Amino acid sequence: MNPRQKLRLEYAQRRLDREVEIRRRKNEMYQLDNRMAQLERDHLKLIETLIQAGLDAGLSDEAIDLELASRHKAFYQAQAGLLKENGYPANYLNPGYVCNDCQDSGRLGAEDCHCFKQALAQAVYQEQSLLETGRTLADWKSDIFADNQREQAEMIYQAMQEYVKDLEHHPGSSLIFQGIPGVGKTYLSTALAGTLAEQGMVVVYQTAPDLFDIDFSDRQAHKHTLRQADMLIIDDLGKENLTDFVRSNLFNLINYRVRTKKAFLISTNLSLRELKNRYQDDIFSRLTAVCEYYEFVGPELRSYRNSD
């Protein structure tokens, strides 16, 4: 079960738990004051009568809904009065939702609610163990770089700050981080991933060797995740075993994300010339068409463990 499916179940359980709690509170009130149960029975009977009468009279749905709204309002006012008489808050039988916008359904019409997007972003991020680092752009430090590296590193860092601000308006903007191993590419890309996840974006982080190394039974769900993530980060491009299968799937993935204006970040040890020689024009042209290129200069950052 993928994170989206798990989260849908969590939202369904949240709504069920709320309904169970409402029923428990109603039973509590029915035992305390029998007027409460009678009020609800009378209201339900009245609503049924009004609907049937409206249909028999040929009234429009809008006219029936208007009359029902008035009756519902009167019912909730009477209910609130009884609750207050018994020392309970007026909304006791209507506990609030975690998200009032979608009423904990996770959807606003045909779209995911902002609360669901935020929760999904965190769920995907946690599943990849990236949150264990606690790393965001706010945590990035330049003092781990040597003097001859620091200026370039700070320039790229500032560019990433602007990139985050601009991504909402230019969702297809993508990146290439290039440099020898250990010069801070992974350090910055995971910080960028953490910042985007904090903002509610679904970030998928994969190393190139693992990108398509998936069991057949999970392949379609994995393909969907790679395509639909708000940001896809592919680390160590060039280290994968470039079979015909991998080449074809890599082309289709990048091509899809370019066409649908979904951002991605490529981190690689290969130079642009080496990238072109390895991936030829079909993949290389799509990378360079949408990617800003940033070169990380050496030497290796020995003072910072796991920097790349």
Is 168 found in the same domain as 77?
A: no
Whether residue 246 is contained in a domain is answered as: yes
CATH of the domain at 143: 3.40.50.300
**103 and 146 within one domain:** no
**pLDDT tens per residue, range 171-190:** 888 999 999 888 889 889 98
Residue 302 has pLDDT above 60, yes or no: no
Instruction: Point out the domain boundary residue: 50, 78, 108.
Output: 108
Classify residue 121: in a domain, yes or no: no
In a domain, 61, yes or no: yes
If asked whether residues 173 and 138 sit together in one domain, one would say yes
Rounded CA separation 122/28 (Å):
38
Q: Are residues 245 and 274 in the same domain?
A: yes
Q: In this predicted model, what pLDDT tens digit does every residue of 128-169 receive, in sequence order?
A: 655 555 688 998 888 888 888 888 999 999 999 999 998 878
Question: Residues 157, 223: one domain?
Answer: yes
pLDDT of residue 307: 47
Domain boundary among 47, 79, 108: 108
**123 found inside a domain:** no
Q: Residue 236: inside a domain, yes or no?
A: yes
Q: How far apart are CA 242 and CA 272, in angstroms?
A: 17
Write the CB contacts of 34 (distance below 8 Å, at least 6 apart in sequence): none
> For the chain, how long is the longest CA-to-CA vector?
85
Distance CA 278, CA 270 (A): 9
Is 117 inside any structural domain?
A: no
Total domains in the fold of the chain: 2
- For residue 232, pLDDT over 90 is answered with yes
DSSP 95: P
In this prediction the pTM is: 0.65
Domain enclosing residue 167, as ranges: 128-295
**Does residue 98 sit in the same domain as residue 151?**
no
Is residue 116 situated within a structural domain?
no
**How many angstroms separate the Cα of 119 from the Cα of each of 9, 116, 125, 168, 230?**
13, 5, 10, 18, 14
The tens digit of pLDDT for each residue in 49-86 reads 999 998 888 888 888 889 899 999 999 999 999 999 99
pLDDT > 90 fraction of the chain, expressed in percent and rounded? 44
* Predicted local distance difference test score (pLDDT) of residue 249: 92
Would you call the peptide bond into 299 cis, given omega within 30 degrees of 0 as the criterion?
Answer: yes
Do residues 168 and 282 both lie within one domain? Answer: yes
Claim to verify: residue 166 and residue 72 sit in the same structural domain: no
pLDDT at 305 over 70: no
Among 71, 65, 15, CA closest to 42:
71
Q: What is the DSSP letter of 97?
A: P
Average pLDDT on 213-236 reads: 82
pLDDT reading at 237 higher than 50: yes
Residues 163 and 286 in one domain: yes
Same domain, 161 and 86: no
Residue 36 lies in a domain: yes
Helix or strand holding residue 239 (H, E): none
Claim to verify: residue 139 and residue 216 sit in the same structural domain: yes
Same domain for 132 and 103? no
Across the chain, where does the E strand assignment appear? Answer: 107-108, 111-112, 174-178, 203-207, 231-237, 263-268, 291-295
Of 108, 141, 156, the one marking the end of a domain is 108
- Ramachandran region, residue 168 (left: φ > 0; alpha: ψ -120 to 50; beta: rest): alpha
- Please determine, for residue 27, whether its predicted confidence score (pLDDT) is greater than 60: yes
Q: In whole angstroms, what is the distance from residue 216 CA to residue 245 CA? A: 13
